[in-house]
Amino acid sequence: MNAENQRDQALGILDSKLPELSKLFKECYLSSGKGAVMVYASDVINRNGPKKHHYRTYEEMLEVFDAPPTQAKLKYMINNYNQKREGIVALITDYSNATYFITVKF
């Protein structure tokens, strides 16, 4: 398996969990404000995630991803998503920690 295959497998599982994911995003947004879910693809594949503790606030996400181009993309995504219909997932693979930023629509 490679990073893309692991990503695709995790995305398939996330797609099947959209009602739970929508609820998670709404609860986290109301308690913590804008942010994103940061989860390892292997956690999703093993059906152990994402959970509430995977949610990170805007500031926490920017601390983790500190490269200027990555921060710019992440800032734009978090600042412009519609929290009533969307959420942001940072999906990290086991392969060189390749990370994919994904907008999830409910």
Output the pTM of the full model.
0.91
Q: Residue 102 carries which DSSP code? A: E
pLDDT per residue over 65-90, tens digit each? 989 999 999 999 999 999 999 999 99
Which burial class, exposed, middle or buried, applies to 25 when counting CB atoms under 10 A from its CB (0-12, 13-18, 19+)? buried
Containing structural domain, residue 10: 3-105
Number of domain units in the chain: 1
Q: Kindly report, residue by residue over 43-60, the tens digit of the pLDDT.
A: 999 977 799 999 999 999
